[in-house]
């Protein structure tokens, strides 16, 4: 074969496409010296053509006659290099490979199911912690409002202070036993009110302090729980990616088996039809 014939056979139109590469590889297999009874003349020309295509130094141009003679023919689907690499495997080997992948797929599915169970438990635990945290914050808000009300002086205290001041003024004007008794009475009531307010204030402050400690603990637990759930989601993503890869591999092997089976059926059909024609 000459270079022009090789370029026409591989369908070179100025671009080194995958289809051109595939056809050139098939020609090199066909005219290999081991297959062609030691004749390496065509193989040398094929190697030169490959070098020209690889280094983009092709000086070949298609003639107008060749272009006019050609008719649009549906090209067979392009075989990827990966499919060509799997030609050495038989259908049985590919079937075993698919069975192994299915076992791995089942194992990954079980791991994902167990992960979902643990994740649901951790999610429910986080919901409980979140609810406890919100209840704690609501209780803190209530105690803060009570503290605000207790800290401020009530109207009764102001009224008692006014009465005490008036009694002291009356004693300066006129020293009388009734004014002394009323002064002691109002002072006693005022002291009782102040003491009860301080006791209530201390209780509210203690409760607030306890709630603040609980808030810190719950917040820390929530952060830890969120971190645990985040790690579970990362594991879930990795398992899902592995599952998708296994599914893609199984689909790819099934495609190769189907293609190989169709080729075998086609070859068998061609043999039977050629035998019938010879008859």
- pLDDT tens sequence across 246-267: 888 888 888 878 877 776 655 5
For residue 11, which of 78, 85, 83 has the smallest C-alpha distance?
A: 78
**DSSP-assigned letters across all residues of 30-49:** HT-TTTTTT--HHHHHHHHH
What's the rounded Cα separation, in Å, for the pair 237 and 216?
32
Non-local CB neighbours of 23 within 8 Å, separated by 6+ positions: 9, 10, 11
Sign of CA dihedral 12, 17, 21, 22: negative
Entry field: residues in the chain: 279
Return the half-sphere exposure (C-beta side, CA atoms, 13 A cut-off) of residue 191: 6
Residue with tokens 């130094």: 57
pTM of the model: 0.47
For residue 197, which of 208, 187, 209, 205 has the smallest C-alpha distance?
A: 205
pLDDT computed for residue 270 by the predictor: 54
In this structure, how many other beta carbons lie within 10 angstroms of the beta carbon of residue 224? 12
Helices (H), the chain: 3-9, 18-30, 41-54, 64-69, 81-85, 91-151, 155-173, 177-278
pLDDT in tens, 199-222: 888 888 888 888 888 888 988 989
Lowest mean pLDDT segment, chosen from 53-67, 149-163, 197-211: 53-67
Average pLDDT of every residue of the chain: 77
Q: Are 111 and 239 in contact (CB under 8 A)?
A: yes
Q: How confident is the model at residue 227 (pLDDT cuts 50, 70, 90)?
A: very high
């Amino acid at each position: 074969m000459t270079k022009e014939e090789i370029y026409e056979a591989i369908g070179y139109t100025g671009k080194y496409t995958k289809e051109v590469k595939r056809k050139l590889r098939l020609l090199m297999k066909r005219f290999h010296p081991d297959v062609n009874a030691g004749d390496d003349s065509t193989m040398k020309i094929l190697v030169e053509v490959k070098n020209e295509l690889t280094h983009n130094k092709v000086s070949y141009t298609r003639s107008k006659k060749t272009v006019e003679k050609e008719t649009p023919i549906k090209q067979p689907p392009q075989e990827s290099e990966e499919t060509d690499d799997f030609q050495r495997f038989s259908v049985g080997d590919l079937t075993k490979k698919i069975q192994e992948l299915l076992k791995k797929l089942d194992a990954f599915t079980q791991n994902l199911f167990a992960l979902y169970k643990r994740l649901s438990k951790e999610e429910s635990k986080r919901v409980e912690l979140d609810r406890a945290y919100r209840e704690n914050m609501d209780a803190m808000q209530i105690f803060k409002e009570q503290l605000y009300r207790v800290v401020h002086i009530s109207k009764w205290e102001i009224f008692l202070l006014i009465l005490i001041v008036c009694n002291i003024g009356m004693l300066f004007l006129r020293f009388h036993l009734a004014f002394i008794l009323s002064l002691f009475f109002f002072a006693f009531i005022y002291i009782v009110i102040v003491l009860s307010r301080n006791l209530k204030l201390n209780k509210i402050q203690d409760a607030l302090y306890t709630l603040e400690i609980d808030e810190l603990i719950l917040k820390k637990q929530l952060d830890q729980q969120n971190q645990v759930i985040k790690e579970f989601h990362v594991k879930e993503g990795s398992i899902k990616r592995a599952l998708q890869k296994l599914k893609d591999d199984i689909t790819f092997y099934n495609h190769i088996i189907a293609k190989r089976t169709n080729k075998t059926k086609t070859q068998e059909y061609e043999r039977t039809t050629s035998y019938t024609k010879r008859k």
